Amino acid sequence: MSDPARPNIIVVMTDTLRTAYLGCYGNETIHTPNIDEFATRAVKFTRAYPESLPTIPVRRAMHTGRRAYPFRNYQPVSWDIVYLPGWQPLDNDEDCLAERLAAAGYHTGFVADTLPYFAPAFNFYRGFWQWEYIRGMQQDRWRSVNTVTHEQLDGYRPHTGRPTDTYDLHHYHLANTAERRHEQDTCTARTFQWAMDFLEDNRNAEPFYLCIDSFAPHEPWEAPPMYHQLYADPSYDGPTILHVSYTTREQQGIDDDATADIIAHYSGLVTLTDTWFGMMMDKLDRLGLTDNTLVVFTSDHGTNFGDNEFDIIGKPSHALWPGVMHLPLLVHMPDGNGAGTVADELVYNIDVQATICELSGIGAGQGLDGKSLVPLLGGDGQWQPREYVTSRYGDAVCYIDDTHWIRADVNSTLGEAFDLRVDPACQHDMADHLEAAVFDRAWQRLLDDAGGEFPIYTIERRTDAVGQKPIVRE
């Protein structure tokens, strides 16, 4: 029997999902009816930001409730696919939200098709009584790349010509999807189907905590045909560009037609995600569990499609602008409080964990860096507004307050600055005219949040073995 004092908890994390591609955040062309309907039952946050990024730093923070910023004690592992400050396993000595919930009697479940979770010894499945890794996404070393033919590669030729590295994303994507025949075969569908099976199997095991991590709409950008065709120009005859270098479109030779097809695939993946999220919510409703379940829908970050002053496509660390930094965050309260309302306060993604800890009554464990959102969700208490938020990605840092958006590097070199009072979309860099006092205040707050200084790493890559762990010096 359900216990109103101990709600069920579902957290849905997507990857690279931009707020600008969701109907509930103002998009009028992308089909997201299920997420939009969910927003009518949730509180919608309009200024939610990641405390750090990209993929793994976000998830370290989300699984613990503590900031990964500013990336101290960087310890990479061998045989990974990414080497960036903060991209490292959960520390064996730090507790996790799932562990605390399991200890408090929650039945815990975790399903993900997000490949970086499952690098050697990353430890993200700690605390889960059930967990499943959905194989086949990105460069997952699953199917043999030696089965991929030159003819297959021709249809996916990037702007630089046919890939020559047998172990690149193109080869793995084609090998891993060779047997995909139906929508149900996609990693997105399989991830949400596992989640629905979890709900069915544990409908009487309340309270439960279910963490769903769906990698779409991250690269590789190839939507199932029926989803791609919703947005594609049928006259486009160029290759499918599965991923891009994170630079300008001009540097990569990506013209407007190719960009439009990339966006069509991306949009199709957004709608695919919406479809299966909707199926999962329908399952929750049919099982009669919605009224006692906290449901959170969010993403780790977004990306760029050349829709910025600098024509950047992708998400390089020096492009910490709204396309990357604005997070969708929709929170459905078990009692329906706040349904359909909008919260414009500055919040972090890790405020979700503080909220879960309050509502489940498990306490803060080793400490939390977020703030409970309960006062903004129609609950008791008074929200203490933040004056600003900070974030780090690689060697870039970002500062946002009510009036300015500033990107710098860890050596205090100013990158871009935007005056949010006249340029809320950050389309006009005014760094050359930024008052010194404004930057000094932002930099001091960045330093304060970092504990007084930023760790700066030199990563020396070795080339004597594929996947070799790099040498890192601080």
467 in a structural domain: no
Q: Which of 210-219, 344-353, 458-467 has the lowest mean pLDDT?
A: 458-467
33 in a structural domain: yes
Higher pLDDT, residue 347 or 206: 347
Q: Does 160 have pLDDT greater than 70?
A: no
Condensed to tens digits (0 to 9), the pLDDT of residues 111-157 reads 999 999 998 889 999 999 999 999 999 999 999 999 998 888 888 86
Q: Residue 418 pairs with which residues in a beta bridge?
A: 405
DSSP 290: G
Q: In sequence order, which residues have a C-beta less than 8 Å from that of residue 389 and are 6 or more positions away? A: 49, 51, 346, 348, 399, 400, 401
Half-sphere exposure of 14 (CA within 13 A, CB side): 32
Q: In sequence order, which residues have a C-beta less than 8 Å from that of residue 94 and are 6 or more positions away? A: 64, 66, 366
Range of the domain at 331: 8-392
Q: In which residue are the tokens 């960087």 written? A: 74
- Read off the pLDDT band of 466 (50, 70, 90): low
Two tokens at 374?
A: 């309960």
Across the range 200-208, mean pLDDT stands at: 93
Across the range 18-43, mean pLDDT stands at: 98
Query: Rounded to an integer, what distance in angstroms lies between the CA atom of residue 46 and that of residue 342?
Result: 7
- Read off the pLDDT band of 467 (50, 70, 90): low
Number of domains present in the structure of the chain: 1
Query: Rounded to an integer, what distance in angstroms lies between the CA atom of residue 147 and that of residue 205?
Result: 44
Q: What is the chain's mean pLDDT, rounded?
A: 93
Query: Rounded to an integer, what distance in angstroms lies between the CA atom of residue 37 and that of residue 330?
Result: 11
Q: In which residue are the tokens 């600098």 written? A: 310
469 in a structural domain: no
Give, in degrees to the nearest 5, the angle at Cα 448 between 443 and 452: 95
113 in a structural domain: yes
Q: Does 465 have pLDDT greater than 90?
A: no
| 459 touches 470 (CB < 8 A) | yes
**What stretch of H or E contains 471?**
strand 471-473
Query: Rounded to an integer, what distance in angstroms lies between the CA atom of residue 124 and that of residue 89?
Result: 8
The pTM of the full predicted model, rounded to 2 decimals, is 0.95
Strands 404-409 vs 396-401: parallel, antiparallel or unpaired: antiparallel
336 in a structural domain: yes
Mapping DSSP to helix (H, G, I), strand (E, B) and coil, where does residue 291 land? helix
418 in a structural domain: no
Q: Does 417 have pLDDT greater than 80?
A: yes
| 370 touches 348 (CB < 8 A) | yes
Q: What share of the chain in percent tops pLDDT 70?
A: 95
Condensed to tens digits (0 to 9), the pLDDT of residues 287-326 reads 999 999 999 999 999 999 999 999 999 999 999 999 999 9
Report the CATH number that the domain containing residue 323 is assigned in CATH. Answer: 3.40.720.10
Condensed to tens digits (0 to 9), the pLDDT of residues 390-411 reads 999 999 999 999 999 999 999 9
Give, in degrees to the nearest 5, the angle at Cα 465 between 464 and 467: 135
Across the range 70-82, mean pLDDT stands at: 90
pLDDT at 2: 46
Query: Rounded to an integer, what distance in angstroms lies between the CA atom of residue 285 and that of residue 277?
Result: 12
451 in a structural domain: no
Residue 30's Cα: distance from chain center in Å?
19
- Percent of residues in the chain assigned helix, strand, coil, to nearest 5: 30, 20, 50
445 in a structural domain: no
What is the rounded (10 degree) CA torsion for 365, 368, 374, 376? 180
